[in-house]
Chain A
Amino acid sequence: MVELEPGTASLELVDTPFYPQEQFQCGPAVLATALTSSGIAVEPDDLVERVYLPGRQGSLQVEMLGATRMSGRIPYRVDGRLQAVRDELAAGRPVVVLQNLGVAAIPKWHYAVVVGIDTDRGEIVLRSGVDKRRVSSISTFLRTWRRSNYWGFVVLRPDVLPTNVDRERYLAAVADMQKVGQREAAATAWNAALETWPGDPVSLFGLGNLELAAGGNVEAEDHFRAVIALNTESVAARNNLAIALARQSLFDEARREIALALDNNDDPTLEAELRDTEELVESLAARQY
């Protein structure tokens, strides 16, 4: 499952920067390496306050992802397979991994960056700790990587999709960028997604929400209508369209959309938002008269 296809060529990203780590700070060092590779000039010291957790003398995985987002880059989880790692290396992207260098009972968690695979010698090359090139046998590497459930990610520029992209995983990653407020990156990424998957409803909806947040009600309306054209049952799109319309004082249309949304809705988790929208439409309409 984790093996490479036979005949795969060796590969090493020799230009990957190197930041030797300070004690307990493989997180900042590794993140600095990956971010700098993606074009963001940053030093480990800049990242300490974003990912280092003094009480745990280390960095949490989700905070590594969060700090990537706040640097305007998309953290994309890779499949836990050597081939997946190699595919990203082939695209010029080193892979951040979490290893357990100890044993299950006494773990020694450690972040490193995979920069190369030597298929002839069966070795992995990592930027790790204070070693610019830490060479490990593939089997040892896999053993240490397995203990983190093969956790790894790459740092994506927002205008670029990962190799052999998993569509849902990518869309979720972009939605998370939007959620944390990285709007410019999200917009770029949604547009990149639409180039790969023309008419993708999630991307259109995402762009619509960005417009709503920026006050672009007309543009938002266009995006939500595009989603509805693809799926007339889209309750979420009708809801958000109603808001875009109400903000343009198009109250009758807004009422029609939210009524349709409420009518079509069979998801109880949406009920609160739909009712809020209904109230919002009426309160905006009331202000007019």
Chain B
Amino acid sequence: MKLSLLRSSMLHIVALTLVSGGYAQVSHAGVIDTGYLVDQEVRAARLDRVETLLASDSVARQLESLGVDKALVAERVQALSDAELRLLEQEMDAQAAGGDALALIGAVFLVLLILEVLGVTDVFKKI
């Protein structure tokens, strides 16, 4: 899947990032992580060092764009397992966010908005 030249240069990038305090987990070169011995599901969800870096980076940017303080993002990303990182990287928008906000779907919102403008409803406090 990866050319060995590409892999070693990516590893150098990862190593530099780890030293400079990037998001990727500290893991020494060559050490196989404990997840490898857990069941099939966990094993399949493992991220290698490059994937971890990329996923962490992507999730961090998404969290930041959703209003998380830049200074806090790294720690939040670091709290997640490989499978969770992968999930957020691919599907953050589809993930439920528990908070009681009524997530009105687009069409319903549009209808309400039109009715509001027409003076039929008074659902919104301010437009």
> Which A residues form the contact surface with B (CB < 8 A)?
23-27, 49-50, 52-67, 69-70, 98, 100-102, 105-111, 129, 148, 168, 171-172, 175-176, 178-181, 201-202, 205-206, 209, 212-213, 236, 239-240, 243, 269-270, 272-274, 276-277, 279-280
Complex partner residue of A27 from B35, B36, B79, B98, CB under 8 angstroms: B98
Q: In whole angstroms, what is the CA distance A67 to B66 when docked?
A: 18
Provide a sorted-by-A list of 29 A–B residue pairs whose CB atoms are within 8 angstroms: A23-B100, A56-B97, A58-B96, A58-B99, A58-B101, A60-B92, A62-B80, A62-B88, A63-B79, A65-B84, A66-B80, A69-B79, A106-B102, A107-B96, A108-B102, A111-B98, A129-B100, A168-B38, A168-B42, A175-B35, A180-B79, A180-B81, A205-B34, A209-B33, A236-B37, A239-B32, A272-B7, A273-B30, A273-B32
Enumerate chain B residues within 8 angstroms of A243, measured Cβ to Cβ: 28, 30-31
> Which B residues form the contact surface with A (CB < 8 A)?
7, 25-26, 28-39, 41-42, 46, 48, 63, 65-69, 72, 75-76, 78-82, 84, 87-88, 92, 95-105, 108
Q: B75's closest neighbor in chain A, by CB?
A: A70
Which of B26, B36, B46, B75 is most buried by chain A, counting CB atoms within 10 A of its CB? B36
* Number of interchain pairs (Cβ within 8 Å): 180
Q: B104's closest neighbor in chain A, by CB?
A: A106
Which of B41, B48, B67 is most buried by chain A, counting CB atoms within 10 A of its CB? B67
Q: B11's closest neighbor in chain A, by CB?
A: A276
Q: In whole angstroms, what is the CA distance A129 to B36 when docked?
A: 40
| CB pair A108 B69 closer than 8 Å | no
| CB pair A276 B97 closer than 8 Å | no
Enumerate chain B residues within 8 angstroms of A181, measured Cβ to Cβ: 25-26, 78
How far, in Å, is A95 (CB) from chain B's closest CB? 14
| CB pair B63 A202 closer than 8 Å | no
Instruction: Give 11 A-B pairs besides A62-B84, A65-B81, A70-B75 with Cβ atoms closer than 8 angstroms.
Output: A24-B101, A26-B98, A27-B99, A56-B97, A168-B42, A171-B39, A172-B39, A175-B42, A201-B37, A212-B28, A280-B30
| CB pair B100 A212 closer than 8 Å | no
Q: B49's closest neighbor in chain A, by CB?
A: A272
| CB pair A172 B38 closer than 8 Å | yes
| CB pair A50 B32 closer than 8 Å | no
Known: A24-B100, A59-B98. A106 touches B38 (CB 8 A): no
Complex partner residue of A109 from B30, B39, B96, CB under 8 angstroms: B96
| CB pair B99 A59 closer than 8 Å | yes
Q: In whole angstroms, what is the CA distance A49 to B67 when docked?
A: 11
| CB pair B66 A56 closer than 8 Å | yes
Q: In whole angstroms, what is the CA distance A148 to B63 when docked?
A: 22
| CB pair A236 B36 closer than 8 Å | yes
| CB pair A273 B31 closer than 8 Å | yes
Q: In whole angstroms, what is the CA distance A202 to B43 when docked?
A: 12
| CB pair B97 A280 closer than 8 Å | no
How far, in Å, is B18 (CB) from chain A's closest CB? 13
Complex partner residue of A179 from B68, B75, B81, CB under 8 angstroms: B81
| CB pair A56 B99 closer than 8 Å | yes
Enumerate chain A residues within 8 angstroms of B96, measured Cβ to Cβ: 58, 60-61, 98, 100, 107, 109, 148
Q: In whole angstroms, what is the CA distance A27 to B63 when docked?
A: 16
Complex partner residue of A171 from B38, B88, B99, CB under 8 angstroms: B38
| CB pair A58 B34 closer than 8 Å | no
Q: In whole angstroms, what is the CA distance A273 to B36 when docked?
A: 12
| CB pair B97 A57 closer than 8 Å | yes
Which of B42, B46, B88 is most buried by chain A, counting CB atoms within 10 A of its CB? B42
Enumerate chain A residues within 8 angstroms of B108, measured Cβ to Cβ: 106
Enumerate chain A residues within 8 angstroms of B39, measured Cβ to Cβ: 168, 171-172
Known: A27-B99, A61-B96, A212-B31. A66 touches B84 (CB 8 A): yes
Q: In whole angstroms, what is the CA distance A178 to B81 when docked?
A: 10
